Amino acid sequence: ALVAARLGAAVRALADGEAGSAAGQILAAETALREAAPLFSLVATMRIEAFRAFRDFTEGASAIQSRHYKLVESVCRRPDPDRLDSAAYRAVPEVRERVLAGQATLDDALTAARAAGRLGPGAIADLEEAMRRFAAALGRWRRAHHRIAVRMLGERAGTGYTEGAP
């Protein structure tokens, strides 16, 4: 939720012509992901049986069903049509509706700011670096989540009748 809020603030800052603030919000989102990473290590210490018992209480919170994960994804850029029509977005209809209604994205805001000539070369470089750092942190988060799922779930189904690790 914090990451989605930071990215939304970056979109608004870009729309207001505040490139420095936008870059700062993106870096704050990256920091939140990076600082939360040790939680995967904590979860990885659980016995598989305990993790499977814990999962009974996380119905509707798997990555494919996560409202906040979809908010993060959809605030970065508009999902491709096949992704938007997938089980992932159908599991969170309010987020899907926001996307269909034309929710502002970071990608769109950056494109618009560039087209309007509101960004100097330094601001563009700062924004691109912040976005690279965020993308790298999100990639690490995704890989860690997948590794935990494979280790803990194996071939078992995920929550909410999802396929699980596959």
Supply the pLDDT for residue 59: 64
Banded pLDDT at 5 (limits 50, 70, 90) = very high
Helix, strand, coil fractions of the chain, as percent rounded to 5: 70, 0, 30
Of 15-19, 56-60, 139-143, the poorest mean pLDDT is in 56-60
Q: For the segment 26-64, what is each residue's pLDDT rounded down to a tens digit?
A: 999 999 999 998 888 888 888 888 888 877 777 656 666
State mean pLDDT over 122-138.
95
**Ramachandran sector of residue 160 (left: φ over 0; alpha: ψ -120 to 50; beta: rest):** left
- Give me the chain's average pLDDT, please: 88
Q: What is the 3-state secondary structure (H, E, C) of 53-119?
A: HHHCCCCCCCCCCCHHHHHHHHHHCCCCHHHHCCHHHHCCHHHHHHHHCCCCCHHHHHHHHHHCCCC
Cα torsion at 21, 25, 28, 30 (round to 10°)?
Answer: -130
Identify the band that residue 12 occupies on the pLDDT scale cut at 50, 70 and 90. very high
Among residues 126, 11, 19, which one has the least CA distance to residue 74? 11
Read off the pLDDT of residues 57-110 as tens digits, 9 standing for 90 and up: 776 566 666 889 899 999 999 999 999 998 889 989 999 999 999 999 999 999
Residues 6+ apart with CB under 8 A from 111: none
Do residues 64 and 40 touch, judged by C-beta distance below 8 A?
Answer: no
Closest to 84 in 3D by CA, of 64, 100, 61, 68: 100
Neighbours of 91 (CB within 10 A): 18
Give the pTM. 0.84
Identify the pLDDT of residue 107. 94
Q: Can you tell me the distance from the alpha carbon of 89 to that of 150, in angstroms, rounded to the nearest whole number? A: 22
